[in-house]
Each structure stands twice: as structure tokens, then as C-alpha cells.
């Protein structure tokens, strides 16, 4: 009996798809299996917890919950926060920053390890730590805030569409994509931006124990390498994640090599693929299509 070539192609594609999912799941599992993984306090020696802050900061809930959990765990003496993020929402950054400060109040030593990028809101979070360790080539800084709008009035004119807004309140449609902003509206938004920018500067000055004037002088949105940031006292040392764990153990008075505790989600490979795909799509929208979204951002991009 002659086999249908279409069925053969579809069957092969399905098999390759399943194989891809399995490889993806195994790669994820193996890449995270080098360190102790647990969602519950471990019995034994004093430990260093590892918390990862990665990607666009669009939600604080999981990181804040993790930090609160470690703050209440008496076996955890220090927390290393691995930051690989360009920043994100202002409130998200502030909530994680406050959770770091809370963990310090509970007696935990906090060390930030900067990855490829720890800028804007990512640096805001780092500023609350006892020590900041960056790689020489880490991109950091970008101490600033922005709000983005799109004006599509001329595009609508070309296709014969006119946008209309019915409002109560002079500034209720501020930032409308259907028209240019007035001078008064721009000033109102600039005042908001300036206030949030000042909050950023104050947080960095407090966390890094630097004069506000010194921080304000470099808080113009520019980025720095880890080595440049060291000279500006934005970071304390140059090193990688292992160096950060060692430093955290020393600060906490742990003798010998610290035992590392890291909370990991245990999910089936299909769920992992779905989660990773959703995160990627969200990031694409955040960086591209959603540029007209009216949100305050501590974001480098």
C-alpha cells in the first residue's frame, strides 16, 4: 500500500516537534541543576539564597514573595540577587526595592550580582543592597524615567478617519494619539516625570550613601560599563555570580563555601514551553507594538 506523502510529512513534523519540546525541557532542567533547588527551608548549615530578577520588570509579585520568604527563614543568612534586566515599570521596581530593604531589616545581608544588563529599574533594585558586584562588561546605569506616546493624527487624516473624545476634565485625554499635546499638558507630564526621577535619585543616594548632587549629575539616562560604574561608586566590586555568593557568605559570617538555596518552579516541559513563549511575546509587545503604552518606566532600551 502506497503511503500518503502528506501524512509522512505531517508525522515527521509532529515527531520533530515533540523531540524539540523534550530537548528544550531537558536543557532548562540541566542548566538549573548545578545549584541546590528547593522551595522549602533546608535543615543544616547557614545558607545563602539566590533570587533571580530577569527580563522586563512588568510584575513584582513573585520576586517580592520570594524575598519575603527568605527574610522570614532563619536558616538564610544572606541573599544574592542576580539581576539581568533593563528595568521596567516604576512601581514594580520600587516594590522589589522595598522588599530588599525589608530583608535587610530582618538581618539578611544582601549582595547584588549584575549580569549582562542591570540598568534603570534594574539598578533601582540593586541600589538597596549591601554590596553590588558587576562584571566589567555589564551595562548598568541609565538612571532616568520616561513615558512614551504615539501621535497618529496625520495617519488617520490620510485614510479619512477622525478620532473623537468626549471628556469631563481638561486633562482627561492627555496623551491622546489623536492630537498633539498642548504646552500645558507637556508641562504637567514633565512635572510628573521630574518627581519620579527625583524619587529614583533619592533611592540611589540613600542606598549607595552618596550625595544627592553626585547622583543627580550622572542621572541623565546614560549607561555605564561595570568598570565605569565602579569608578562612579555605583558598584562596589567587579566579579561574577560565584564571587557574589562568596562575598555574601563572608558578610554573613558563614565559614567555608556557602550552601546555596534557590527556588525553582517544577513544571512539565509543555508548560515550560508555553510560559517561555508567552514571556517572549510579551517582551516583543513591550519593546515594539506597545511603545505607545502610557506607563511610567525606569527602562533602558
**First-to-final CA distance of the chain:** 59
Q: Tell me the domains of the chain and their CATH numbers.
A: 33-143+222-299 (3.90.226.10)
Distance of CA 30 to the CA centre of its chain: 24
Q: Where are the alpha helices (DSSP H) in the chain?
A: 5-31, 61-71, 90-105, 121-126, 153-158, 183-208, 212-218, 226-231, 241-251, 269-287
From first to last of its 301 residues, the chain has per-residue pLDDT tens of 555 554 555 566 666 666 666 665 555 555 444 444 444 444 556 899 999 999 999 999 999 999 999 999 999 999 999 999 999 999 999 999 999 999 999 999 999 999 999 999 999 999 999 999 999 999 999 999 988 888 888 888 889 988 888 989 998 989 888 889 999 999 999 999 999 999 999 999 999 999 999 999 999 999 999 999 999 999 999 999 999 999 999 999 998 888 999 887 555 555 555 555 555 555 555 544 444 455 666 666 6
pLDDT for the residue 291:
43
Q: How far is CA 4 from CA 7, 9, 11, 15, 270, in A?
A: 5, 9, 11, 17, 29
pLDDT for the residue 219:
97
* Assigned C-alpha cell, 81: 540577587
Interatomic CA distance for residues 278 and 113, integer angstroms: 26
pLDDT for the residue 133:
98
The answer for residues whose C-beta is within 8 angstroms of residue 189's C-beta and 6 or more apart is: 147, 174, 175, 181
Is 119:86 a contact under the CB 8 Å cutoff? yes
Interatomic CA distance for residues 182 and 192, integer angstroms: 16
E strand or H helix at 77, and its extent? strand 76-85
DSSP 124-175: HHHTTSSEEEE-TT-EEE----B------HHHHHHTT-------SSTTTTTT
pLDDT for the residue 35:
47
DSSP 215-226: HHHH-SS-EEEH
Query: Would you name the residues annotated as active-site residues?
Result: 120, 172
pLDDT for the residue 157:
87
pLDDT for the residue 10:
58
DSSP 285-298: HHHTGGGG----EE
Amino acid at each position: 500500500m502506497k503511503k500518503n506523502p502528506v501524512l509522512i510529512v505531517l508525522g515527521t513534523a509532529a515527531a520533530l516537534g515533540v523531540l524539540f519540546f523534550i530537548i528544550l525541557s531537558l536543557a532548562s532542567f540541566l542548566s538549573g541543576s548545578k545549584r541546590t533547588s528547593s522551595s522549602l527551608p533546608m535543615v543544616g548549615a547557614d545558607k545563602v539564597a539566590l533570587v533571580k530578577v530577569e527580563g522586563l520588570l512588568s510584575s513584582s509579585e513573585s520576586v517580592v514573595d520570594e524575598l519575603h520568604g527568605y527574610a522570614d527563614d532563619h536558616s538564610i543568612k544572606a541573599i544574592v540577587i542576580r539581576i539581568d534586566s533593563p528595568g521596567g515599570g516604576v512601581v514594580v521596581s520600587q516594590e522589589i526595592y522595598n522588599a530588599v530593604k525589608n530583608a535587610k531589616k530582618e538581618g539578611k545581608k544582601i549582595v547584588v550580582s549584575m549580569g549582562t544588563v542591570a540598568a534603570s529599574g534594574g539598578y533601582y533594585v540593586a541600589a538597596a543592597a549591601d554590596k553590588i558586584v558587576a562584571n566589567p562588561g555589564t551595562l548598568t546605569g541609565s538612571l532616568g524615567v520616561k513615558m512614551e506616546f504615539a501621535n497618529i493624527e496625520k495617519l488617520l487624516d490620510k485614510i479619512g478617519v477622525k478620532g473623537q473624545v468626549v471628556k469631563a476634565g481638561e486633562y482627561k485625554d492627555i496623551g491622546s494619539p489623536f492630537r498633539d499635546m498642548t504646552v500645558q499638558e507637556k508641562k504637567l507630564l514633565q512635572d510628573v516625570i521630574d518627581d519620579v526621577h527625583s524619587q529614583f535619585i533619592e533611592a540611589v543616594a540613600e542606598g549607595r550613601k552618596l550625595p544627592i548632587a553626585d547622583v543627580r549629575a550622572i542621572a541623565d539616562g546614560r549607561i555605564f560599563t561595570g568598570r565605569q560604574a565602579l569608578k562612579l561608586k555605583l558598584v562596589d566590586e567587579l566579579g561574577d555570580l560565584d564571587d557574589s555568593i562568596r562575598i555574601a557568605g563572608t558578610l554573613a559570617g558563614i565559614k567555608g563555601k556557602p550552601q546555596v538555596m534557590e527556588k525553582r518552579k517544577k513544571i512539565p516541559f509543555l508548560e515550560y514551553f508555553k510560559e517561555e513563549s508567552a514571556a517572549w511575546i510579551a517582551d516583543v509587545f513591550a519593546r515594539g507594538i506597545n511603545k505607545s503604552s502610557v506607563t511610567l518606566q525606569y527602562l533602558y532600551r
